[in-house]
Amino acid sequence: MKYRRLNITLPEETLTRADTFAKAERYSRSALIAAALDAFVSGEVDGSSMAGESGVAYAPEAVGLNPAVKPLIPAIIDACRKHGAVYAALVGSSTQPDPLVLPRDLDLLIRFGPEWEERADQYFDLRDDLSALSGKPVDLIEVDAVTNPLLRKEFERTKVVLLEVA
């Protein structure tokens, strides 16, 4: 992808709010503006669904997924359902929204339903399907098995829930 430098002028208050938002969502300033523009121009977001103040609009729908991973989401969800998952959330680099960050693998928090008996088959079949789908190595992490508090905190910070069956 080719990039071009663009000079824009924004009110100081708007820039401060944008920087705060970008930091919280792990965007660079440029990546936030690019994601918001892309979502708006592509029609993913219309003017009535965006929160705006002072003439600036943010696109919440564009937040939280790496652009290289975003097109795979429907197929990832389908694979999770096929293999009996009741919960799935991406974590790590695949939730880094900066287009300059290319995830080397997919890290997925997963929980399988209690009615499934052959967990090993589910686990490995899902991992293999997701790897074939993405062309990347896949780390499946059973969410209930994570006991390290620092790791849990990091997963909470970066996770994007894709599937949650009540």
Each residue's pLDDT tens digit, 18-59:
888 877 777 777 777 777 777 777 666 555 444 443 333 333
Cα gap 83→101, rounded to integer Å: 29
Which pLDDT score, from 0 to 100, does residue 46 have?
Answer: 53
| pLDDT on residue 146 | 93
Those residues with Cβ within 8 angstroms of residue 137's Cβ, 6 or more apart along the chain or in another chain: 104, 105, 106, 131
Per-residue pLDDT tens for 80-121? 999 989 999 999 889 888 888 889 999 999 999 877 666 778
Q: How many CB atoms lie within 10 A of CB 111?
A: 19
State residue 22's pLDDT score.
78
Give the per-residue pLDDT at 35.
76
Q: Work out whether strand 85-91 and strand 56-58 pair parallel, antiparallel, or are unpaired.
A: unpaired
Report the distance separating Cα 139 and Cα 123, nearest Å: 10
Residue-level pLDDT at 28? 76
- Residue 150 or 22, more confident: 150
Please tell me whether the overall predicted TM-score, pTM, comes out greater than 0.75 for this model. Answer: no
How confident is residue 63, by pLDDT bands cut at 50, 70 and 90? low
Kindly report which listed range (42-46, 96-100, 123-127, 142-146) carries the lowest average pLDDT score. Answer: 42-46
Distance CA 134, CA 87 (A): 19
Secondary structure of the chain in HEC code, one letter for each residue? CCCCCCCCCCCHHHHHHHHHHHHHCCCCHHHHHHHHHHHHHCCCCCHHHCEEECCEEECHHHCCCCCCCHHHHHHHHHHHHHCCEEEEEEEHHHHCCCCCCCCCCEEEEEEECCCCCCHHHHHHHHHHHHHHHHCCCEEEEEHHHCCCHHHHHHHHHHCEEEEECC
Give the pLDDT of residue 58.
32
40/121 Cα distance (integer angstroms): 42
